[in-house]
Amino acid sequence: MSPIDKESALRYHQLDGKPGKLSIHPSKPLETQLDLGLAYTPGVAYPVLEIERDPTLAYDYTAKGNLVAVISNGTAILGLGHRGALASKPVMEGKAVLFKKFADIDSIDIEVDSTDPETVIAVTSAIGASFGGINLEDIRSPECFYIEERLKSMLDIPVFHDDQHGTAIILGAALTNALEITGKRIDGIKVVFSGAGAAAVASARHLVRMGVPREHIWMCDIKGLVYQGRQEEMFPEKAVFAQGERPAKLAEVMTGADVFIGLSAANIVTPEMLQSMNLTPVIFAMANPDPEIGYTLAKQTRPDAVIGTGRSDFPNQVNNLLGFPFIFRGALDVRASTINDEMKIAASRALAALAREPVPEDVLKAYGLCHIEFGIDYVVPKPLDRRVCLWEAPAVAQAAIESGVARIPFDLEKYRASLEARLLK
């Protein structure tokens, strides 16, 4: 893969004299006077009156059911911190085009120019009726927890903070398979987190739901161990994972760990820290662009480990792209009122199962590889594997049905066939 430098990135965003990455195209004919009359006045009066009579008909007569808003205030832009709402727009446009490319979901980015959580909530809730789902993005911790929970209680459509749940869901899949490979039981492992922000807290919560005992999770941040009674740099969601009664450094906490999960900063883990872990450890160092310990150094230090990063140029990339397009695809297609825990777990399990299947030739070609198979260097599917949607979206939709949050009927086999026809053209 060619290196991505500033010049090539800026040129890409201005390609063909069209700034940005999004455009809007009509989905109905607009060639004749009759077309114009149907598309606008007087034809629009009829769906207007029908929707006033029955608001659910907005799903039948408008694009609402396949439309997601990507909303940010730019307070936690991927790896860049607080850069402001307008500066977040390239990232949000990027999110929108990934929705379209990978799951045929129409999406529009909305940047809210406020650091006040109440303003973000008010703006999002006021426009929520226009959309089938809300994807919150790059909103700093701890405000992101409050914003998401408030909006979930106010809106009857899926509200999903991807910085939290996207990472957690892919991590859940990766850990499931890593534990199978290493022969460790999910209820018997010691898990150490470096990082205690949105992604780390949500990942820890998700792992608990998947079977890791909460008391087996040790969370560290820039101040060290999150321990019981600590006052500095604390908030309620983090405090749930407090362990021990005294301060400790990450190096001390990692001794005897089975799993290391890095969602923090580059190059803060040493070979000595990895050597203090148990046999056949699982090491997911996911700080971007540079992990907590370099992949090559980690591999040299612990050749017995399952190692993953957030990068595409090393094995076992834990990447949100494996999650959000397909989770929303399944949720939208059954008109789910929310994305609940059952749906998130179903997504993790579907991804884990797909990674155990033979890898088709088109995926190998996309990555310039001759062979991939389930094992120490392949615990999650590749993001460019077109089968991901066919496995994950139906699993999410089925979980929505079974947990009672879906609002339309669902036939699993017909749904899979329709997805294949739609996305594998």
Structure tokens at 240: 């749930």
Calculated CA dihedral for residues 116, 120, 121, 126, nearest 10 degrees: 140
**Where on the phi/psi map is residue 313: left (φ > 0), alpha (ψ -120 to 50), or beta?**
alpha
Predicted pLDDT of residue 363? 94
Assess whether 227 carries a catalytic annotation: no
367 flagged as catalytic: no
| Global pTM value | 0.95
pLDDT at 1: 56
Q: Which of 95, 152, 184, 382 is catalytic?
A: 95
Is omega for the bond preceding 47 within 30 degrees of 0, making it cis? no
Mean predicted lDDT score pLDDT of the chain:
95
Q: How far apart are CA 105 and CA 99, in angstroms?
A: 5
pLDDT band at 80, cuts 50/70/90? confident
Is the confidence at residue 144, as pLDDT, over 80? yes
- Domain 166-309 listed as CATH 3.40.50.720: yes
- Residue 134 clears pLDDT 90, i.e. is over it: yes
Nearest to 309 by CA among 266, 349, 273: 266
Instruction: Report H helices in 290-323.
Output: 295-301
Q: Which tokens go with 8? A: 């090539």
Within the chain, which residue ranges are assigned CATH 3.40.50.10380?
20-164
Residue 424 pLDDT class (50, 70, 90 cuts)? confident
Residue tagged 């120019």 (tokens): 113
Q: Is the pLDDT of residue 2 over 70?
A: no
Q: Residue 17's pLDDT is what?
A: 80
Distance CA 111, CA 127 (A): 13
Task: Please tell me the class of the 320-423 domain.
Answer: alpha beta
Query: Among residues 408, 192, 376, which one has the least CA distance to residue 302?
Result: 376
Kindly indicate the confidence band of residue 279, based on its pLDDT and cuts at 50, 70 and 90. very high
pLDDT in tens, 369-417: 999 999 999 999 999 999 999 999 999 999 999 999 999 988 888 999 9
pLDDT tens-digit series, residues 13-45: 998 788 999 998 999 999 999 999 999 999 999
pLDDT the model gives residue 109: 97
* Positive or negative torsion for Cα 411, 417, 422, 423: positive
Burial of 43 (0-12, 13-18, 19+ CB in 10 A): middle
Q: Mean pLDDT over residues 237-265, rounded?
A: 96
Distance, CA of 289 to CA of 303 (rounded, Å)? 23
* Annotated catalytic residue within 12, 18, 40, 249: 40
Ranges of CATH 3.40.50.720 domains, the chain: 166-309, 320-423
- Distance between CA 75 and CA 78 in Å, rounded? 10
Write the DSSP string, 165-228: HHHHHHHHHHHHHHHHHHT--GGG--EEEE--SHHHHHHHHHHHHHT--GGGEEEEETTEE--T
CATH code at 20-164 = 3.40.50.10380
Q: What is the DSSP letter of 411?
A: -
Q: What is the reported pLDDT for 94?
A: 95
Q: Please name which of 138, 176, 212, 117 lies closest in space to residue 349, comparing C-alpha atoms.
A: 176
CA separation for the pair 134, 157 (Å, rounded)? 7
| Residue tagged 């983090």 (tokens) | 238
321-336: average pLDDT: 97
Percent of all residues in the chain with a pLDDT value above 70, rounded to a whole number: 99
Distance between CA 146 and CA 160 in Å, rounded? 12
Bridge partners (DSSP) of residue 81 are 77
pLDDT at 247: 96
pLDDT value, residue 4: 81
321: left (phi over 0), alpha (psi -120 to 50) or beta: alpha
Residue 281 CA to residue 272 CA, distance in Å, equals 14
